[in-house]
Amino acid sequence: MGEWKTPAELKYADSDEWFAVDGNVVTIGITDYAQDQLNDIVYVEFKDAGDSVDAGDSFGEVESVKAASELYSAVPGEIIEVNTALEDEPEVINADPFGAGWMVKIRAADLQGIDGLMDAAAYDAYCDSR
C-alpha cells in the first residue's frame, strides 16, 4: 500500500484524474498519487469556461520540471468553472490535490463515463501495481 491519499467518495481514471459528481456537475482534479509522481508542478493550463469537451478529450495540461501531462475528462459537457487561481499558484495541486487543487467543473451532458471509472480501492490497487 502506497503512502498517498485516496478519498473513498471519489471516482478515478487510469490517467490519474479524480471525479466528484454532484448532480450533473462533475469536478475534476488529479490524484495525490499523480501529484507525487509529477513532483513539483510548475505550470497549468486549462481550457476556458464556456468551452465544451467530449468524453476522453483533454481539458488542459500540467507541467512539472521534466514532464508535461494532458488532463482528460471522462464525461462530455460544458466547462462551467475553471480554477484560475492555480495558474498563479500551481504548487497548490501538490499541497492539496483533492481540495484547493481542483481544476475544472463540467456540466455533464451525460454521466455514462463515470460508470467506467475506478473506485478508491481499485485505484489504490492500480497505483500499487505500477
Partner 1 sequence: MQNAAATNGAGASQPKKLEPLIYDLGAPGRIGVNLPDCDVPKTALPADLLRADLALPEVGEVQVVRHFVKLSKLNYSIDQGLYPLGSCTMKYNPKINEDAARLPGFAQLHPLTDGDGAQGALFLMHELQTWLGEISGFEAVSLSPAAGAQGEFAGILMIRQYHIDRGEGQRDIILVPNSAHGTNPATVTMAGMSVRELPADAQGNVDLAALRDVCAGDLRDRIAGMMITVPSTLGLFEATILDVVEAVHDAGGLMYMDGANMNALMGAVKPGQLGFDVMHYNLHKTFSTPHGGGGPGSGAVGVTAALAPYLPGPVVAVIEEENEQEPPLYGLVMPEKSIGRLKAFQGNFGMHLRAYAYIRVYGDAGIRDVTRYAVLNANYLRARLMATYKVPYPRYCGHEFVLEGHFDDAEDVHALDISKRLMDYGFHPPTNYFPLIMPEALLIEPTETEVKEDLDAFVAAMERIAEEARSEPETLLNAPHTAPVRRLDEVKAVKELVLCCAPALPIGARD
Partner 2 sequence: MSYIPHTDAETRQMLRAIGVDSIDDLFEAVPAAHRFPGLDLPAPMSEMDVAAEMLAISEANDHAGDFAVFRGAGAYHHFIPSVVNHMLLRGEFYTAYTPYQPEISQGTLQATYEYQSMMCALTGMDAANASHYDGATSLAEAVTVALEAGRRKRKKIILSHAINPQYREVVRAYHLGRDIRIIGDRGRGEVVDLMEMLDDNTAMLAVQYPNYFGQIDDFSRLAEAVHASGALLVFVANPIALSLFKSPGELGADIVVGEGQPLGIPLGYGGPYLGYFAIRQKYVRRIAGRIIGETVDADGRPAFVMTLRPREQDIKRERASSNICTNQGLMALAASIYLALMGKNGLRQVGELNYHKAQYAADQIDRLDGYSVDRSKPFFNEFVVACPRPVAEINDELLAEGIIGGVDLGEHYFHLQDHMLVCVTETNSKAEIDRLAEILGGLN
Residues that bind partner 2 (CB under 8 A): 43, 47-48, 61, 63-68, 70
**Closest distance between partner 2 and the C-beta of residue 30, in Å?**
16
Choose which of 2, 56, 65, 70 interacts with partner 1 (CB under 8 A). Answer: 65
Q: Does 125 bind partner 1 (CB under 8 A)?
A: no
- Contact region for partner 1 (CB under 8 A) — 34-42, 54-62, 79-87, 118-126? 34-42
Question: Per CB under 8 A, which region of 14-22, 38-46, 76-84, 105-113 contacts partner 1?
Answer: 38-46
Q: Does 121 bind partner 1 (CB under 8 A)?
A: no
CB of 94 to partner 2, least distance (A): 16
C-alpha cell belonging to residue 45: 493550463
Q: What is the 3-class SS of 36-93, one letter each residue?
A: HHHCCEEEEEECCCCCEECCCCEEEEEEECCCEEEEECCCCEEEEEECCHHHHCCHHH
Q: Which is nearer to partner 1, 43 or 110 (CB)?
A: 43
CB neighbour list of residue 113: distance below 8 Å, 6 or more residues apart: 55, 56, 73, 74, 75, 76
**Smaller CB distance to partner 2: residue 62 or 118?**
62
Q: Which residues contact 85 (CB under 8 A, 6 or more apart)?
A: 92, 100
Helix, strand, coil percentages for the chain (3-state, nearest 5): 20, 35, 40
Total residues interacting with partner 1, rule: CB under 8 A: 5
